[in-house]
Amino acid sequence: MANSSKDNLIPTSNLPLQDRVAIVTGASRGIGRAIAIHLASLGAKLVINYTSNKAQADLVAAEINSSFPSHTPRTLTVQADVSDPNQVKSLFDIAEQFFNSQPYILVNSAGVSTDRNINIADISVEEFDRILRGAFLCAKEAANRLKRGGGGRIILMSSSIVASLRPGQAPYAASKAAVDAMVKILAKELKGSGITANCVSPGPIATDMYFAGKTEEMVQRNIDECPLGRLGQGEDVAPVVGFLATDASEWVNGQVIRVNGGYV
């Protein structure tokens, strides 16, 4: 496991994301929180999006701001439901106005999952739409709003469930397979913009969303299936996202990168 996120927040000069604005959805907890803190450690200014838990989002912002000597805030917390196109647009508007700069980076980490296994025959149209909608809307807005000319990065979170194909997970797996296909095509559609588009696909990660509805036996089965013998942590995923956000990743485009410890 990587070092704690707090240890990584040591400001230095010439950071790879120095003062670039990054929007991270679902950044108040879990994988999104780890990603936001890591991008800040690389010099980015952060827009921390949350859906409902303002207190947790404010704690993430405070942790980042306290680690930099400047009194100028480097983070902004913005409530927005990414399944609502008007709120997604507003999220980008607020980011531009607050930092007086076009965003360079979007990381869509806002996750929606069913809290139970559910078969294709039983899921509602509304529930399936809810799982997929946010990734599409965020990718669409980012394709139109990110800084062009080099350095623009769209990073969508997918899932290794696309490869493991577990019964009862068809709606979630199908939604993530759609994200995988969408990002590969989006990378081609953005030709000439200097913006890259990639997916990061974690395996089982020890977050509140992962544990919801799972028994101890289900968790232990996932641990046993991983060659490294543990669940992943947000800090295992964040450095991969950080690499994709920097100029060093320019030649990585239209890819789906699985970060799962060999789980599948």
Give the active site residues: 172
Q: Which residues pair with 76 in a beta bridge?
A: 47
Smallest Cα–Cα separation from 103: which of 142, 137, 64?
142
How far apart (Å, rounded) are the C-alpha atoms in residues 46 and 99? 9
Phi, psi of 46 (to 5 degrees): -115, 135
Residue type, 13: S
Smallest Cα–Cα separation from 238: which of 14, 44, 18, 11?
44
Structural element, H or E, at residue 187: helix 170-189
DSSP-derived 3-state class of residue 156: strand
Structural element, H or E, at residue 128: helix 125-145
CA 87 to chain centre: 18
How far apart (Å, rounded) are the C-alpha atoms in residues 135 and 9? 28
DSSP readout, 193-233? Answer: TT-EEEEEEE-SB-SHHHHTT--HHHHHHHHHHSTTSS-B-
Contact 85, 101 (CB under 8 A): no
Angle at which helices 30-41 and 234-245 cross, to 10°: 50
